[in-house]
Structure 1
Amino acid sequence: MHKSIILFLLILSIKLYSQEKKETYLFSEDITANFENDKTLARYQIAATNFSISGYYKLGLETWDKQAGADFSKKKTISTEDSLYFKSFKPVNAKKYIIDRSKNEQIILINEAHNNSRHRVFTTSLLHDLYNNGYRFLGLEALWENLDGKEFATLQDGFYIKEPQFGNLIKEAKEIGFTVFQYESTSKVRDGGKTREIEQAENIVKMMKENPNSKFLIHCGYEHIIEGTPGIKTWEKAMAGRIIEMTGINPFTIDQTYYSEKGNTNLNSPYIEMVNLDYPVIMINNENKAFSGDRENTKNIDCAIIHPITKYKNNRPDWLNLSKERKTIKIENSKIKEYPALVLAYRINEFEKNGIPADIIELASDSEKSNLILKKGEYKIIVKNKDYQIVNEFTQTVK
């Protein structure tokens, strides 16, 4: 499947989902039923995104992988030459490498797959250290409007930001002191995405000119970070290339999407297994050059993160604990009146203002082990039954 079609289906999924007037966070069974009743070409991406938004990380990956004929649904292989080339690099801790290099950069572009919450958690892990290195502005493609005067994002502020880890990213950035801004194009011109890339870059450059000598972190989707030749030829240049064109500044571009795990481990890049470490890495050679993918690197990105395969504890991904900054919270059986139950944790005063939950879990029965994973603080816990009626709510302190 060509990447321009993927982009079209993603945009279509946003429009379709935005038309829904029902619940935002769904039971997995209902997402599956909606998928089975959906006959559109976009159904896999719609379902994968809905799984992601409702906290079902693995189901989201697995559903995305099932798209027939898509490049990402095929088993990956590498040539002997590529294997030897890769072995000329050594792994370094991705976070440490990025933070060290950020000291001498003005703008960082890091991407995500829109159905992969892990990418948002990794960007969140960078915020404190980037702030200490002088970064003050966080640009988000997924925002529909700026968050001036707001302490947190709401359900009305964007589509993908409804996902809990995206909400946590925004909340963390605001608490640290970042100015969080939107830069998405509002053009309705149909030219294969060229105008969109230009307008995104223009909006970012405008913020840069209004805040000279400031440092910027831009969190975007997929190929917008490409400095060279994007896969979608109608773009001519991606957003990153347009920023270079407009400013002469070479951004530090970081990919998270090429070498992240798939729902089906058989589809994983062989490079993940070759690294075989339990933390994200960036590969560096003896000339201090970072591995960025193919040997020619026609996309001209600066580096690619290789994320490890997720380990699970009580059905929750290990990386959700944000290097143990977040705590595991068990919900007592006495708090659940009926099963299945959807348990949503909101920061105090955010549920009433259409805020985004900090975490969500589904409990199928009283024997199922699954825990909320939360930062220290006070939370309002909302418990919903199969009909999405609130059957219990209580306050939970995380120490």
Structure 2
Amino acid sequence: MKLRIPLLCLLLAAPLLALAQNDPITEAGRRGLLRRGQESPTEHEMTPAEWRRLQLAAADKSEEIMRRAQRQPGLLAQYMVMQAAYDDNNERAFRLIFGQYLSWFQTWIGDYDGAARSFSIAQPVQHDDAPSPLTGAWQARPADEVILELAKDRKAVFFNEAHSAPLTRTLTVQLLARLRAEGFTHFAAETLYVKEAEALRKRGYPTAKVGFYTEEPIYGEMVWAAQKLGYTIVAYDAEDAGVGDARERAGAQALYDQVFKRDPNARLVVNAGFGHIQKAGVYLGGSSMAKFFKKISNIDPLAVDQTMLIQHARSDQDHPWYTAVMQAAHPAQPFVYVDAGNKPWTLKPELYDVSVFFPRATESDGRPTWVGLGGTRLPYPVSSDLCRNQFPCMIEARYASEGEDAVAADRAVLNVIDPNAPMSQRVLSNHGSAQSRLYLYPGNYRLSAVDGHGRTVSSQSVTIAPAATKP
């Protein structure tokens, strides 16, 4: 099955600042994706029309490279094609567009730091931002506790994510079991494919064919967890509806038709990208999916923003409120601010009900510890011995009870290289390591080491024991 490639809708706000959205759209829809007309000329006095033309050409080239990469045998081989194409082309519009495509592959192979460097959405202060929570009588509380309290009387909870930053999926994964215990019945996620939803229900585990982003292990874990917890999985995203209102309205209608029209007593959890979940205002020149959903269903969803108050690869891209809050507090888990009446603070009061702050990342063996999902997944060290001197190699862990087509529970790439090696021999954002670690729930797994030609060079079974409890 050929992947549907999410094409981006890109707004250039300043010469070195890209604000972007990923949207699966048709070819016809893509030709209108820069219609907002707010792009800035480059430092060479390029007109907005010329800059838009360069971006569209870069999008065409990015798609062609991605299709070529997907013909390679294995995910690591595909990533290497993408990285080489990025390294070989310094043209500004190409790097701006293609960096997002590359970042998806970097998340799929577990290189989350590399993905953040390839693509991120800067968060300057904007006119509709609320004042910093540090300026009022707001108190910090754990995000999971507050969200569960806010969700108790809601029929629907909408979480958003940044597709190139899987950190923004972690809290949603951690909350699924507790939301299920509160009576939520259905789970929907962006870019799940309608034709694969029934196969997922029968098979019991996600594969890369289930949706575009499910190749990324934490996204796959999210779908896997929802399936195991007994949620009804909903593929709502309109694959052929185009972009803007057509897609947003179709997605909202599908959510209503597949969930509340069939069962008025249902309760729904949705995971979607960026502004698809904003409940008011203008989105992509029209209305968002959540805004259409409110109108169609007469249900006001709890909208949880997780995309704006996160750490970026460059500190100057962090929102100033985020920087100040991190300097004032040193949180160990995602948190939100509430007032004395437990009303939550939100960066965008008209758009979202609550905004989540994610702590700055800490790393171990080159991987961020948030991959451990709040300590529920335990670190398992892996070394170059598994690679049998075939570098680079990718270490994958799959649940022992699932097939080879299952999305890996976690992945890491190892690469032993000469520090003077040419760029063509480097992967993982131009660095190499002889060791790393996977993060896995307690249980039985099948570990595989795969080389750059898609060949399995070694495999073994491992058991992750539960963490020892303190006496």
CA change 1:208–1:23 in 2 (3 A) is: farther
Residue 234 (structure 2) pairs with residue 181 (structure 1):
yes
| Contact 2:398-2:446 at 8 Å conserved across structures | yes
Q: Which residue matches 1:101?
A: 150
Partner secondary structure for residue 2 of structure 1: strand
Deviation at 1:331, TM superposition (A): 2.5
1:332 offset after TM fit, Å?
5.2
1:373 is aligned to 2:423:
no
Matched residue, 1:115: 164
Aligned to 2:406: 355
1:329, CA displacement in angstroms? Answer: 1.0
Q: Which residue, 369, 392, 395 being the options, matches 2:461? A: 395
Moved more, 40-49 or 25-34: 25-34
Deviation (angstroms), 1:83: 5.1
Q: Hey, what's the Cα distance between the residues in 2 that align with 1:315 and 1:84?
A: 33
Q: Distance in 2 between matches of 1:82 and 1:138?
A: 30
Structure 1 residues 310, 8: closer, same or farther in 2, change over 3 A? closer
Question: Equivalent residue for 1:284?
Answer: 338
Give 1:201's match in structure 2, choosing from 249, 252, 257. 252
Query: Equivalent of 2:415, from 361, 364, 383?
Result: 364
Work out the CA distance in 2 between the residues paired with 1:244 and 1:315: 43
TM-score (norm 1): 0.87
Is the 8 Å Cα contact of residues 294 and 301 (structure 2) preserved in structure 1? Answer: yes
Equivalent of 2:206 in 153, 166, 171: 153
The one of 88, 92, 102 equivalent to 1:47 is: 102
In structure 2, the CA distance between the partners of 1:205 and 1:347, relative to structure 1 (3 Å rule), is same
Match of 1:68 in 2: none
> Is it true that 1:268 corresponds to 2:318 in the alignment?
yes
Change (3 A) 1:244 1:337: same
CA distance change for structure 1 residues 155 and 251 in 2, over 3 Å: closer, same or farther?
same
- CA distance in structure 1 between the partners assigned to 2:182 and 2:84 by the alignment: 47
Write the mapping of 1:1-399 to structure 2, written as runs, cut at 5 A. 2=11, 6-7=20-21, 17=66, 20-26=70-76, 30-37=81-88, 40=94, 42-65=97-120, 72-73=121-122, 76=124, 86-88=134-136, 89-145=138-194, 146=197, 147-188=200-241, 190=242, 192-206=243-257, 207-233=259-285, 236-276=286-326, 277-294=331-348, 297-298=349-350, 300-331=351-382, 333-338=384-389, 339-352=391-404, 354-365=405-416, 368-399=434-465
Query: Cα–Cα, structure 1 residues 227 and 164, in superposed 2: closer, same or farther, change >3 Å?
Result: same
Q: Offset at 1:85?
A: 5.7
Distance in structure 1 (CA, Å) of the matches to 2:148 and 2:172:
11
Residue identity matched to 1:48: S
Task: Please report how far the alpha carbon of residue 118 of structure 1 lies from its aligned counterpart in structure 2 after TM superposition.
Answer: 1.2
CA contact (8 A) 1:91 1:275 kept: no
> Aligned pair in 2 of structure 1 residues 98, 348: CA closer, same or farther (>3 Å)?
same
Preserved contact between residue 197 and residue 224 of structure 1 (Cα < 8 Å): yes
Residue 29 of structure 1 deviates from its aligned partner by: 5.5
Matched residue type, 1:278: A
Distance of aligned partners of 1:46 and 1:334 in 2 relative to their CA distance in 1, 3 Å threshold:
closer
The verdict on how the C-alpha distance between 1:378 and 1:275 changes in structure 2, with shifts beyond 3 A counting, is same
Judged with a 3 Å threshold, the aligned counterparts in structure 2 of structure 1 residues 99 and 331 are, in CA distance, closer, same or farther, namely: same
Name 1:69's counterpart in structure 2: none
Amino acid in structure 2 at the alignment position of 1:357: A
Deviation of 1:384 (Å): 1.7
Spell out, residue by residue over 1:126-159, the C-alpha distance to the aligned partner (whole angstroms, 9 max, x if none): 0111011001110011211213312111121111
Contact 2:201 2:227 in 1 (8 A): no
TM-score where L is the length of structure 2: 0.75
Q: 1:5: how far off?
A: 8.3
User: Take 1:130 and 1:15, find their aligned partners in 2: how far apart are those partners?
Assistant: 38
Structure 1: runs of 5+ lacking an equivalent = 66-71
Moved more, 312-321 or 199-208: 312-321
**Which is further off, 281-290 or 52-61?**
281-290
Question: Deviations 1:194-251 (Å, cap 9, x if unpaired)?
Answer: 1111110001001221122111100011111111013422xx2211111110121111
Question: Partners in 1 of 2:304 and 2:277 — Cα distance?
Answer: 7
Alpha-carbon offset, residue 272 of structure 1: 2.2
Q: Is the CA contact (8 Å cut-off) linking 2:106 and 2:112 kept in structure 1?
A: yes
SS in 1 for 2:434: coil
Equivalent residues of 1:78, 1:270 under 8 A apart = no
Task: Give the distance between the partners of 1:84 and 1:154, measured in 2 at CA.
Answer: 42
Amino acid across the alignment from 2:164: N
Q: Which runs of 5+ in 2 are unaligned?
A: 1-9, 13-17, 31-58, 418-432, 466-471
Deviation at 1:387, TM superposition (A): 3.1
User: Do the aligned partners of 1:350 and 1:356 also contact (CA within 8 Å) in 2?
Assistant: no
Deviations 1:249-295 (A, max 9, x none): 1110001111111111232112223322222111112353322214x
**Which of structures 1 and 2 has the bigger CA Rg?**
2
SS of 1:290's partner is coil
Letter in 2 for 1:243: F
% same residue: 20
* CA displacement at 1:86 relative to structure 2: 4.6
Separation in 2, partners of 1:380, 1:33: 30
Query: Which segment drifts farther, 324-333 or 246-255?
Result: 324-333
Query: How far apart are the structure 1 equivalents of 2:387 and 2:11?
Result: 46
Equivalent AA in structure 2 for residue 392 of structure 1:
S
SS state at 1:185 partner = coil
CA distance in 2, matches of 1:395, 1:293: 46
